[in-house]
Amino acid sequence: MTDTCAEPASAIKAIDKQSVHQICSGQVVLSLATAVKELVENSIDAGATNVDIRLKDNGVDLVEVSDNGRGVEEDNFVGLTLKHHTSKLRDFSDLTHVETFGFRGEALSSLCALSDLSVVTCHESSHVGTRLVFDRSGRLTQRAPHPRQQGTTVTLQQLFSTLPVRHKEFQRNIKKEYSKMIHVLQSYCVISTGVRVTCTNQIGQGKRSTVLCTSGSPSMRDNIGALFGPKQLQSLIPFQQISPTDNIKEDYGLNGEELPKDLFIISGYVSQADHGVGRSATDRQFFFINKRPCDPSKVSKLVNEVYHMFNRHQYPFVALNISVASECVDVNVTPDKRQIFLQEEKLLLAILKSSLLAMYETGVNKITLNHKLQLSGSMYASPPNPLQQAPGFGTKTSHSNAVCPGPAQKNMQSFFRSSEKINCPKPFLSFPGRTASESAVSPLKTSLLNKYGHSSDVDTDSGLSEQRSTTGTPETLCENASKLASPDSVLDEFGVKNEPHNEPAVKVLTDLEPAGQELEAVVGPERIFSPEAKKRRWENTLSEQTQVPCPGAPDTTSGLFDRHVSVHKKTQPLQFSMTQLASRMERLKTQRREEIDQEPKYRRFRAQIKPGDNQSAEDELKKEISKDMFKQMEIIGQFNLGFIITKLKSDLFMIDQHATDEKYNFEMLQQHTILNGQRLIVPQNLELTAVSETILIENIDIFKKNGFDFLIDEDAPVMERVKLVSLPTSKSWTFGPSDIEELIFMLSDGPGVMCRPSRVRQMFASRACRRSVMIGTALSVSEMKKLVVHMGEIEQPWNCPHGRPTMRHLANLDIISQD
């Protein structure tokens, strides 16, 4: 044991009051948002109708909150900033009936410990104001007369300066802290009816700009309009409360219980469920309990879930106040009072769900589609489009609801278009002219089903679909694009030969290159050959180049596969010694044992290749595979013309060649593409909030890289300082104000970080998919190595933009050898 450990344990003693004060204060005031929130709450509790918040350098240098409330009486000057001194309650029982924002007496005391705090106040009974200065412990050190009208002004300078680590972190993340503070302040502006709230900010020696402002209206709706503009008001509907239905009560286990009546009264506004009027994020959701801003996670989750039943791609604007008896609420849970415990919470959720469903199901937000799909040609009158059924033409992955187009989708669509033009009377992929029974095609179908594991008849989840015409004789076959890379891939597998026939039997469309060139291969009635015949077919392929006839041309290849060709192989004797081979094998085993001893003893990859383990597999890869390891991977070969098998030490990996190339191309487009903008004839006023205008102005270069350009007038009133003069366009893609709002939200969380709107990402993903190596493309070793090395050059190589996994662990050779 060391000398330190040998010493007797120190005696337990009380921490000195100054240290206790500093330790606890750091837990009460955690951020800029908390500091401003505490001061605003004090102003509203004092009965103020006008609250003015002034910031300098986003709050780093100065935070000042001024109001016209009742002011502080002279007798309360000394206890104003002392720990646990308050006028709101006298004992614990008073906590049940407290109705003010503050009640602990901790806020001003904690702010004294974290900053330089001074107060200028004038009570309603006084004729002159007083300036008060306090030390770090909250003790009054100076007082002097100061001119001021009725009310109080609290000034904080150098917030968190007494905590060096937090102060440095606060300065480094000030823009993010500032955005969070504005969001918290917005919640008080929404609920504080009859109170005019103004917030301004000054950067350096520049002009003071207004961040937000309300008019002091007695209406919550007016406050929302003042903060977020009239456009937001157009999409809102008032909340209409109803009693919970029997089905919903049963869902929450409330059947058979005597429920209290009128326990909860809910009021406020929510967005309509029409697509386009919602938000791309939850940045405008405000919940209140007895007009106290809070974060009820279950309530928030329920509101979003119900909204997604009607508009699954967006989030609603929410401003809901829940009024409940004070004895049914516990607000003394966390230091910031944002977490609240409620009695009868299940009843509240049942009321909310029933009310929201009734509001959205009334038909106000529904539209009627009167148009009908017009299709020409008898081929469209049969079963559904195989493009929507076969996963090879658009496969949904477990990571995302997005559809990753299969490699033959474009050519399939081209086939439909060409068939429509000539009004082709034959069903898609059918065997015209066949009059034989169903058993005539069963060998090929059975072999395909056995190989790929699909069920018979119509299976929309498989790569093989079967459909019958009205006569019962034609058969329709739709191959999975990832398995049918070329017409010969299936024929080679089953020894099927192309024989003369009166007309083409099966039309198969094949991708030749990403540009979309198309090829029609003509395949005759199927026949299963013996192994000898299949061997001759491969020999013929080696000796002569197979010709693919054009549609409608006479078949000249009927004898190509039946003609026997002798292949003369050149032999070369090799030197071989069993002794040398055994010696080399022994050296390799010894070397491998040494490598195994140096490797970790635990099993690094446990996730299996199945949808349920996708997240676990991705987490394992992130943990175990670094960027430089991709260069070290050894290329083993290509599997099924779609997957690259690589080896890293004793681990085998399978890499999706299309998904990994798509991810790399997507990231390159994200980083290097500058979208061109198209000028508008007349500049468009965006009616952005003051906060959004500030974020846009500070990140103007990012907007320009995304193709947006603006006319900025900093002297104009709030919501009129920014006008749109140019929009990005790219072929058939167009963008608008909704993409600007999404960018603003993303930049509020990560100021200065290059980002793209989701629709731009979608456009890049589509282009990256089309220009990437397709499934079914044979690759050389150098081409495979290039794709693998590219994975080490991007940040997140584990999924393609459409959510498809790029890489999975196959096996560990050491474990296999031990087994």
Domain map (residue ranges) of the chain: 17-210, 229-361, 609-818
Please give the structure tokens belonging to residue 215: 């008019």
State which fold the 229-361 domain adopts. Ribosomal Protein S5; domain 2 (3.30.230)
pLDDT band at 657; cut points 50, 70, 90: very high
The answer to whether residue 492 scores a pLDDT higher than 60 is: no
pLDDT at 603: 55
Residue 411 to residue 482: CA distance in whole angstroms = 13
Pairwise pLDDT comparison (426 vs 774), residue with the higher score: 774
pLDDT band at 223; cut points 50, 70, 90: very high
pLDDT at 154: 94
C-alpha dihedral over 453, 457, 459, 464, to 10 degrees? 60
pLDDT at 599: 56
Q: Using alpha carbons, select from 516, 506, 512 the residue that is nearest to residue 479.
A: 506
pLDDT at 56: 93
State mean pLDDT over 478-485.
41
Residue 683 to residue 221: CA distance in whole angstroms = 29
The answer to whether residue 432 scores a pLDDT higher than 90 is: no
Q: Which of 386-390, 561-565, 636-640 has the lowest mean pLDDT?
A: 386-390
Distance linking the first and last C-alpha atoms of the chain: 45
Q: Using alpha carbons, select from 39, 31, 64, 65 the residue that is nearest to residue 174.
A: 31
pLDDT at 566: 60
The answer to whether residue 19 scores a pLDDT higher than 80 is: no
User: By three-state DSSP, how is residue 635 classified?
Assistant: strand
Question: Which tens digits make up the pLDDT trace of 317-343?
Answer: 999 999 998 888 887 777 777 888 888
pLDDT at 129: 92
pLDDT at 737: 84
Q: Which of 216-225, 429-438, 635-644, 661-670 has the lowest mean pLDDT?
A: 429-438
Coarse DSSP helix, strand, coil percentages of the chain, rounded to the nearest 5 percent: 35, 20, 45
pLDDT at 660: 92
**DSSP conformational letter for 551:** T
Burial of 157 per CB tally in 10 Å (0-12, 13-18, 19+): middle
Domain covering 609-818: architecture: 2-Layer Sandwich (3.30)
State mean pLDDT over 63-86.
86
Pairwise pLDDT comparison (806 vs 444), residue with the higher score: 806
The answer to whether residue 75 scores a pLDDT higher than 90 is: no
Dihedral sign computed on CA atoms, order 354, 346, 103, 295: negative
pLDDT at 482: 41
pLDDT band at 503; cut points 50, 70, 90: very low
Question: Which tens digits make up the pLDDT trace of 731-752?
Answer: 778 888 888 888 888 887 777 7
Yes or no: domain 17-210 corresponds to CATH 3.30.565.10: yes
DSSP run (H or E) holding 348: helix 345-360
Q: Say if residues 213 and 226 touch (Cβ distance below 8 Å).
A: yes
pTM higher than 0.75: no
State mean pLDDT over 501-525.
39
pLDDT at 237: 93
Residue 226 to residue 47: CA distance in whole angstroms = 22
> Which residue in this structure is represented by tokens 């069963």?
442
Q: Using alpha carbons, select from 196, 226, 150, 213 the residue that is nearest to residue 50.
A: 196
Q: Which of 59-63, 263-267, 348-352, 534-538 has the lowest mean pLDDT?
A: 534-538
Residue 744 to residue 695: CA distance in whole angstroms = 6
Question: Which tens digits make up the pLDDT trace of 84-96?
Answer: 677 666 566 656 6
The answer to whether residue 288 scores a pLDDT higher than 90 is: yes
> Which residue in this structure is represented by tokens 């034989």?
436
CA-to-CA separations, 775 to 484, 609, 694, 782, 808, in angstroms, rounded: 9, 19, 47, 17, 17
pLDDT at 443: 47
pLDDT at 598: 63
pLDDT at 82: 81
pLDDT band at 255; cut points 50, 70, 90: confident
The answer to whether residue 457 scores a pLDDT higher than 60 is: no
- CA 325 to mean position of chain CA atoms: 38
Helix pair angle (690-698, 737-749), 10° resolution: 80
pLDDT band at 536; cut points 50, 70, 90: low
DSSP secondary structure string for all residues of 380-399: GGSSPPHHHH-GGGSEEPSS
pLDDT at 48: 92
Question: Which tens digits make up the pLDDT trace of 27-50?
Answer: 678 889 999 999 999 899 889 999
Residue 383 to residue 362: CA distance in whole angstroms = 34
Q: Using alpha carbons, select from 122, 126, 45, 136 the residue that is nearest to residue 83.
A: 136
pLDDT at 801: 85
Question: Which tens digits make up the pLDDT trace of 691-726?
Answer: 788 888 888 999 988 889 999 887 787 778 899 999
pLDDT at 800: 85
pLDDT at 534: 52
Question: Which tens digits make up the pLDDT trace of 164-198?
Answer: 898 999 999 888 899 889 999 999 999 999 999 99
Q: Work out the mean pLDDT of the chain and round it to a whole number.
A: 74
pLDDT band at 464; cut points 50, 70, 90: very low
Pairwise pLDDT comparison (157 vs 541), residue with the higher score: 157
Residue 712 to residue 720: CA distance in whole angstroms = 9
Please give the structure tokens belonging to residue 448: 């395909």
pLDDT at 221: 93
Question: Which tens digits make up the pLDDT trace of 265-274?
Answer: 999 999 998 8
